[in-house]
Structure formats: C-alpha cells, structure tokens
C-alpha cells in the first residue's frame, strides 16, 4: 500500500512512525514533512493546507490512502477533495470537521445528542455578550467561535477579564473572523483528559486517553500552548469513565452527525473535564492531538494501517486494537520565547546520543535543515522526546535522561510532565 501523510509536525512524525512499521506498506510519503519524518518517508514540498496540491500529489504518486493530520486541512475540505478525486482519505469531510471548526456547531450537536457539556450562549453582538457576562458572573469562559490556532479560549477568573476578552475578540478582532461570533460558557472545574475514538461514520472504537499539559511553565503556570507534554494512559480516566464517555458523548454525537447527513470518519478527540458531577465535554477536535498522538502511538501494539483503512471503509465494528501494557510519555522541547515569539534558526545537536537511551523515541516537529545541512529550530514546539516504560515514572526518567543529552541551549522544556499521575 502507498500512503501519503499530510502534515509536518510531531503528530505526523508519530503517525509516519507507526505506519512505517506496517507490513502492508510499500511506500510512505509525507507532505510537507520535516527532517525527522524524512528519515522514514519521502517528503514532498507541498503545504498541508494546499488542498489542490495534495490531491495532485496523491494522484501523481498513485497513493492508496491519504492520512490527514491537521484540523486546518480538514476544515478546508481536504477529505471532500480527495473523495471527489477518487482517493481514499482518513479524516472527516468538511461538514463533520465543523465540530472543531465552529464552537457553536459543536455545542449545537452536543446538545442535540444529549451529551453532557457546559451551559452556554452564542453571541454575534457585543452588547448582549456583555450583559450575559454581567448576569452570569465569574469565573466564566469566552471562546472565539472559529479556529484560532488554539488561542481562542479565555478562561476568565473575573468579569473584567471576560469583558476584555469580548473586546479583543469581537471589537479588536484579534482572531479575525474567527471571533465575529463568540460562545460564552460555564466554567467547568476538574481534571482534564484527552480521549480519542476511531470512527467510521457509524461505529467508534476507543483509542484510549492521554493527559496534556497546556501551560508553558512548570506547575501549570504561564500562557497556554499547543501542549508541552503528554502521557498515556491517564490513570484518572478509568475503564468505567471511558465506557461512560463512549456511551454518553461519542456514540450519540456520531449518530447525530450521521442523522444530519454528515457522518464522521476519522479520529474524534474529546476534551473531557472530569467534574464532580461526572465527565463533561469541553470540546471535540476532529484529529489526533499533538503531543497526545505521540504518546498513544508509542503504546500501540497493533498495526495502525488496517485500523485506518477500516475507518475509511466503514468496517470498524468489532475491530480489535491492541495496546502495550506500558506507560508512555512525550516531553516537548520548545524554542526559547515560545509561545509568544519563538527564536528560530538555532542549532540542535546531540539527538543521536539522546535516541540511544533505552525506550526513547524522538519525534521532530518544528525542525528544519539549514543551508549547511545542520538541524535547526524552525517553529515553537520543536521536538517531542518520547519514551516508554513499565511505569510512568520509568518512562519519564528515560525521557528526561534523553533530554539531558540534547545539546540545544536555546531550547527549553517543562521539568514536570506527568506530575498529576506521579
Ligand atoms: P478548547 O479549545 O475548547 O479545548 O479550550 C482550551 C482549554 O480551555 C481547554 O483545554 C480547557 O483547559 C479550557 N476550557 C475550555 N472550556 C472550558 C470550560 N467550559 N471550563 C473550564 N475550562 C475550559
Ligand atoms: N494537545 C492539544 C491539541 O492537539 O489540540
């Protein structure tokens, strides 16, 4: 089988790594990829959001399966374009991808499906939004409706903060059109879990859970990021809770989308808050999480490729996926200045030595090769240092031992990934 993976981050490196191990694979290509991916796949210089370019590449290379990593490509309709060109594509169509692309669409579907989620209201005008905040009080959560690169959510501790968020989003348009509509919702309190389900439009099977670390600094301090590290499994998310989320959130939402003629095929990523009243949905994403995907792939024992194929072909019912009974962790190394203004172009050395640490697997994200062929930072989140172990403590020790061997003075990581579970 010839497979094209779309994307060039740590998540796509992990997907390529898992797919590369499949006996079904005859050729693996990636667009645009990164230097780490280039070690296991042929990379093509086509942007992940270049829908026409990706379809043309897949056609030209006679690709059997296109696997789409990032949400932006999906919300732009990459799966629809692939289908129109007769290409098999893993990932939801544009209409179903609105689940992530529009917070108010997510709320509408969750409510129609009876899935537990925070109480909310949707606003297209500033005045009523402000009045709602005054009536509800703080803490309260203000969200830009559209995609805002993970920065469109303000968990406001005070009413003033919430009103400022409304000003920024609706008047100052800091997220452009994404903030022309806002969703204001009840603030949920509890432990947050990233739960993943593989879906074929009708059936879903659990892929397990991971816990991310969104804040940039140790002890969950500083600004929000795309995720500074993850581990799997998440001990707080018991088998019983997983079954409950499958039954109350995933299955009814799949049914509701199918009923509306927008069946969901791909990975459904549920952001779940474990509240005192039980698990509640924070959001749905329509793809694997980054860095959660890296942590999950490290634990996957089954061949990933047949599972992705079964999802595309509506054959997931009773599909059996096996996981290693071990713990995995991924610690993100970011460029100094991330998330505000990451320093680019600094050289990274020592990865070969780091990769020698037993149990360690390194995933590239924002790396590139400079003119002299040196590996340099070219993004905010630059590397994901993954590791497995019999226990999370063991995995974590291995990951940090590898990090100690990475020679990159301009990089940093959190030193406490996994703290909640340890
Ligand atoms: P989202 O993009 O919806 O996942 O929001 C980003 C982050 O904001 C989530 O991962 C949560 O940590 C937080 N968040 C979102 N919605 C709520 C809520 N209703 N209550 C508390 N925290 C929230
Ligand atoms: N790590 C969170 C996300 O991928 O959205």
* CA angle centred on 89, ends 201 and 295, rounded to 5°: 80
* Tally of structural domains, the chain: 4
If asked whether residues 271 and 380 sit together in one domain, one would say no
Look up the CATH number of the domain holding residue 236.
Answer: 3.30.470.20
Average pLDDT over residues 335-351: 97
Residue 98 lies in a domain: no
* 17 closest CA partner among 42, 37, 46: 37
Average pLDDT over residues 249-269: 98
Confidence category of residue 315, pLDDT binned at 50, 70, 90: very high
Look at residue 169 in the predicted model and tell me its pLDDT: 95
If asked whether residues 81 and 29 sit together in one domain, one would say yes
If asked whether residues 403 and 350 sit together in one domain, one would say yes
If asked whether residues 204 and 262 sit together in one domain, one would say yes
Strands 42-43 and 27-32: parallel
How far, in Å, are 4, 150, 324 from residue 154 at the CA level? Answer: 36, 11, 37
What value does the CA radius of gyration of the chain take, rounded to a whole number of Å?
A: 21
CA 293 to ligand 2: nearest atom: 4
Task: Show which of 138, 161, 180 is a domain's final residue.
Answer: 180
**Which domain does 196 fall in, by range?**
191-312
Confidence category of residue 422, pLDDT binned at 50, 70, 90: confident
Q: Whose CA is nearest to atom 3 of ligand 2?
A: 289
With a 6 Å cutoff on the Cβ, whether 193 touches ligand 1 is: no
Say which residues have a Cβ less than 8 Å from residue 52's Cβ, sequence separation at least 6.
81
Class of residue 405 by CB neighbours under 10 A (exposed 0-12, middle 13-18, buried 19+): middle
pLDDT above 70 coverage of the chain, percent: 100
Average pLDDT over residues 187-214: 96
Contact 47/55 with Cβ under 8 angstroms? no
If asked whether residues 236 and 153 sit together in one domain, one would say no
Query: Cα of 344 to ligand 1 centre, how many Å?
Result: 29
Residue 58 lies in a domain: yes
Query: Cα of 369 to ligand 1 centre, how many Å?
Result: 36
Cα separation, 179 vs 167, in Å, equals: 10
If asked whether residues 162 and 205 sit together in one domain, one would say no
**Ligand 2, CB within 6 Å, residue ranges:** 212, 226-227, 285, 289-290, 292
Cα dihedral: 172, 173, 179, 184 (round 10): -10
If asked whether residues 211 and 267 sit together in one domain, one would say yes
Look up the CATH number of the domain holding residue 57.
Answer: 3.40.50.20
Q: pTM above the 0.85 mark?
A: yes
Query: Cα of 153 to ligand 1 centre, how many Å?
Result: 7
Look at residue 179 in the predicted model and tell me its pLDDT: 87
Q: Whose CA is nearest to atom 8 of ligand 1?
A: 153
Counting ligands in written order, the one closest to the CA of 291 is: 2
Query: Cα of 288 to ligand 1 centre, how many Å?
Result: 17
- What pairs with residue 154 in β-bridges? 142
Query: Cα of 186 to ligand 1 centre, how many Å?
Result: 10
If asked whether residues 156 and 238 sit together in one domain, one would say no
Residue 129 lies in a domain: yes
With a 6 Å cutoff on the Cβ, whether 187 touches ligand 1 is: yes
Residue 81 phi/psi, 5° resolution?
-65, -40
Residue 147 lies in a domain: yes
Confidence category of residue 223, pLDDT binned at 50, 70, 90: confident
Counting ligands in written order, the one closest to the CA of 191 is: 1
With a 6 Å cutoff on the Cβ, whether 118 touches ligand 1 is: yes
Confidence category of residue 224, pLDDT binned at 50, 70, 90: confident
Look up the CATH number of the domain holding residue 151.
Answer: 3.30.1490.20
Residue 320 lies in a domain: no
Residue 102 lies in a domain: no
If asked whether residues 175 and 199 sit together in one domain, one would say no
With a 6 Å cutoff on the Cβ, whether 311 touches ligand 1 is: no
If asked whether residues 288 and 372 sit together in one domain, one would say no
Task: Show which of 312, 338, 368 is a domain's final residue.
Answer: 312
The tokens describing 94, both together, are: 């544009």
Contact 209/299 with Cβ under 8 angstroms? no
Count of beta carbons in the 10 Å neighbourhood of residue 150: 15
Counting ligands in written order, the one closest to the CA of 211 is: 2
Cα separation, 93 vs 99, in Å, equals: 11
Check whether 151 has a pLDDT greater than 90.
no
CA 291 to ligand 2: nearest atom: 1
Strand spans (E) along 241-392: 265-275, 278-285, 327-335, 360-364, 367-369, 375-377, 381-389
Query: Cα of 194 to ligand 2 centre, how many Å?
Result: 8
If asked whether residues 300 and 205 sit together in one domain, one would say yes
Residue 281 lies in a domain: yes
How far, in Å, are 113, 201, 206, 296, 333 from residue 247 at the CA level? Answer: 11, 16, 11, 22, 36
């Amino acid at each position: 089988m010839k497979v094209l993976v779309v994307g060039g981050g740590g998540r796509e490196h992990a997907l390529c790594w898992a797919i590369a191990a499949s006996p079904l694979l005859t050729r693996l290509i990636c667009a645009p990829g990164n230097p780490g991916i280039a070690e296991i796949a042929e990379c093509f210089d086509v942007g992940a959001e270049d829908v026409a370019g990706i379809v043309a590449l897949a056609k030209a290379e006679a690709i059997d399966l296109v696997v789409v990593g990032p949400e932006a490509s999906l919300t732009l309709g990459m799966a629809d374009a692939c289908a129109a060109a007769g290409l098999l594509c893993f990932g939801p169509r544009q209409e179903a991808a609105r689940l992530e692309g529009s917070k108010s669409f997510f709320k509408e579907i969750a409510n129609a499906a009876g899935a537990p989620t925070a109480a909310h209201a949707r606003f297209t005008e500033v005045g009523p939004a402000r009045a709602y905040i005054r009536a509800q009080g703080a803490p309260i959560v203000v969200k830009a409706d559209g995609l805002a690169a993970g920065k469109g959510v303000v968990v406001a501790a005070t009413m003033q903060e919430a009103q400022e968020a409304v000003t920024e989003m609706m008047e100052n348009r800091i997220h452009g059109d994404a903030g022309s509509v806002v969703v204001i919702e009840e603030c949920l309190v509890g432990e947050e879990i990233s739960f993943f389900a593989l879906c074929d439009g009708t059936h879903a099977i659990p892929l397990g859970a991971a816990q991310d670390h969104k804040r940039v600094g140790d002890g969950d301090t500083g600004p929000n990021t795309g995720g500074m590290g993850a581990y799997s499994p998440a001990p707080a998310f018991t088998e019983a809770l997983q079954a409950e989320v499958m039954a109350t959130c995933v299955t009814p939402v799949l049914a509701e989308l199918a009923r509306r003629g927008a069946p969901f095929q791909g990975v459904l990523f549920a952001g779940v808050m474990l509240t005192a009243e039980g698990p509640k949905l924070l959001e749905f994403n329509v793809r694997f999480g980054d860095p959660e995907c890296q942590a999950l792939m490290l634990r996957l024992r089954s061949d990933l490729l047949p599972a992705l194929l079964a999802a595309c072909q509506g054959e997931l019912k009773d599909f059996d996926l096996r996981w290693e009974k071990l713990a995995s962790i991924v610690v993100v190394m970011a460029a100094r200045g991330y998330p505000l203004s990451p320093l680019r172009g600094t050289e990274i050395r020592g990865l070969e030595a780091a990769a020698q640490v037993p149990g360690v697997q390194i995933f590239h994200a924002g790396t590139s090769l400079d003119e002299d062929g040196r590996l340099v930072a070219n993004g905010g989140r630059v590397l994901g240092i993954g590791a497995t172990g019999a226990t999370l403590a063991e995995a974590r020790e291995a990951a940090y031992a590898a990090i100690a061997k990475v020679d990159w003075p301009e990089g940093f990581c959190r030193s406490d990934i996994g703290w909640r579970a340890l």
